[in-house]
Amino acid sequence: MSQFAGLVNLGSRVLEVLPKVGISSDAPTDRGAFLRLLHAAKRVPIHSRGAVGHSVERRTLLGVFISAFLDEVALLARGGLLRQYKSLNDDLRVVRGRLQVPRQAAVHGMRPDVISCRFDELSIDNPRNQVLRAAMAVVRPWIESVHAARRLTELSAAFDGAGLVRDAVALIDGLPPDRRALRYQAAIRWAELILRLLSPNLRSGGSAAPEMLFDMNRLFEAAIAANLKERVRPLGIDLAVQDTSHELEERDSHPAFKLKPDMVLRRNDSLAAIADTKWTAVAPGRSGRIEPEASHVYQMNAYASAFGCEDFYLIYPWNPSIDSAAPSVFHLKRRGGAPVRLNVVCVDVGSDDFPARHGSFYFLDGSV
C-alpha cells in the first residue's frame, strides 16, 4: 500500500491513503503533493482552472474530488445540457405529432376532448445526463459543507429531467461516441471515478472495498514527463516516454531483452539524455552524496550499454533530509569507451512547477 495513494471505501467511512514524500511531512503537505501530481499527470481532470492552494490542501481528498466534479457539472449546466429527441406517447387536449388511431379508438373513442398522440420532444433525458445525475445522488451523503450542499442542490435541479438509473457504471461502459458530447468528457470521467468508489451497487461484486487508488511510481513518472516535455520543447528537444527502440540483444534479427526507459530526450535525432523516475525516499550516504539503490544503477548501466548516451538521470522526490547532500554525480565505467555520467536529481513535488531541489538537468541550460 506504501506505493499507492487515493481513497478506499470502507462502508460508512472513506479511508484516505496519502503518499509519503518526506520524513517529516504532514497530511496537508502530502495531500497537496498528491493533487499536484494528479493534475500534472492528467490522471483526473482536477484544478484545470487553478493551482493547488493551501485551502485545498487542508480539505479531505474526497471533498476536493467532489468539488472538482461539481465544477465540471456547473460548467456543463452554464453552457447548456446535451439534449436529444425522444419519442413519447401521451394523451393531450390538442393534436401534437401523429395521432395514435388504434389507441384513440380503443381507449378514448367516446372522449373527443382527449387525443392520443405520439410525438418527438427535445429532452435532457439521455445516458450522459443520467450518469451525471446518478453521481450527484451518490455524493450527497458525503458533502462536507453547507456551501457544497447548496451547490449540489442547485445543480441537481438542472438535471431533474434526466432519469435516475440504478447501474450508472454499466451505462458509462456503453456510452456511444458523440462529437457533440466532447465537453462532457471531464465530468463523465469524474462521475465514473466517484460511482466506482461510492456506488452501493458495486459492493455486491468481487471487490469488498471499492477504491480509487493510484500507483505512485506511475503517477510520479507521468507528472515529471509532462512537466519536462513542456520545458524542453522550446530548446528543440523531443521527449519520448517508455521508449522501446533498443534492446540488450538481437539474435537472427529478433530483438531480446527489450529496454524501456521512462524518458528518452533527443535533439535533432541525436540522443541528449535518458531519465528514469523512482518514487523512493532517498538520503545522503557516508560520502555525503545521495547513493541510489544498486538495482537502480544497474538498470541505468543497462541503458548505457544499449543506447550509447553519455548523460543519464535518476529522478527522485525531494525530502528535507537531503538539503545538505553533496552533488550526486556518478561516472559509470564502460568497457571500450569513456565513462557515462549518472546524475541524481530530486524534484520538489510540493511546488506546482516541480523545481529541482538537488542536482540539475544539464539539458535545460541548452548545453547538451
pLDDT, position 49: 45
pLDDT, position 191: 94
Q: What is the 3-state secondary structure (H, E, C) of the chain?
A: CCCEEEEEECCCCEEEECCCCCCCCCHHHHHHHHHHHHHHHCCCCCCCCCCCCHHHHCCCHHHHHHHHHHHHHHHHHHHCCCCEEEEEEEEECCCCCEECHHHHHHHCCCCCCCEEEEEEEEECCCHHHHHHHHHHHHHHHHCCCHHHHHHHHHHHHHCCCCCCCCCHHHHHHCCCCCHHHHHHHHHHHHHHHHHHHHCHHHHHCCCCCCEEEEEHHHHHHHHHHHHHHHHHHHHCEEEEECCCCCEEEEECCEEEEECCCCEEEEECCEEEEEEEECCCCCCECCCCEECCCHHHHHHHHHHHHHHCCCEEEEEEECCHHHCCCECCEEEEEECCEEEEEEEEEEECCCCCCCCEEECCCHHHHCCC
Cα-Cα-Cα-Cα dihedral of 40, 44, 49, 50, to 10°?
-50
pLDDT, position 206: 52
pLDDT, position 159: 94
pLDDT, position 333: 84
CA distance 6 to 367: 39
pLDDT, position 203: 45
CA distance 341 to 311: 5
Could you tell me the three cell numbers for 230?
A: 513542456
CA proximity to 225, closest of 40, 30, 21, 6: 40
CA proximity to 187, closest of 83, 74, 97: 74
CA proximity to 292, closest of 307, 278, 305: 278
Nearest-Å Rg of the Cα atoms of the chain is 28
Q: For every one of its 368 residues, what pLDDT tens digit does the chain have, with 9 covering 90 and above?
A: 468 999 999 988 999 999 887 655 688 888 889 999 999 998 887 654 445 555 676 789 999 999 999 999 999 999 999 988 888 888 988 888 888 888 888 888 888 889 898 888 888 989 999 999 999 999 999 998 999 999 999 999 999 989 888 889 888 988 888 888 899 999 999 999 999 999 855 445 555 568 899 999 999 999 999 999 999 999 999 999 987 776 666 665 666 677 889 999 999 888 899 999 999 999 999 999 999 999 999 999 888 888 888 899 999 999 888 988 999 999 988 776 778 899 999 999 988 889 999 999 988 875 54
* HSE value, Cβ hemisphere, 13 Å, CA-based, for 210: 19
- Say if CB 181 and CB 125 are below 8 A apart: no
CA distance 164 to 136: 10
Contacts of 202 (CB under 8 A, 6+ apart): 169, 195, 196, 210
Rounded to 5°, the CA angle 12-17-22 comes to 155
pLDDT, position 202: 46
Report the residue count for the chain.
368
CA distance 97 to 111: 19
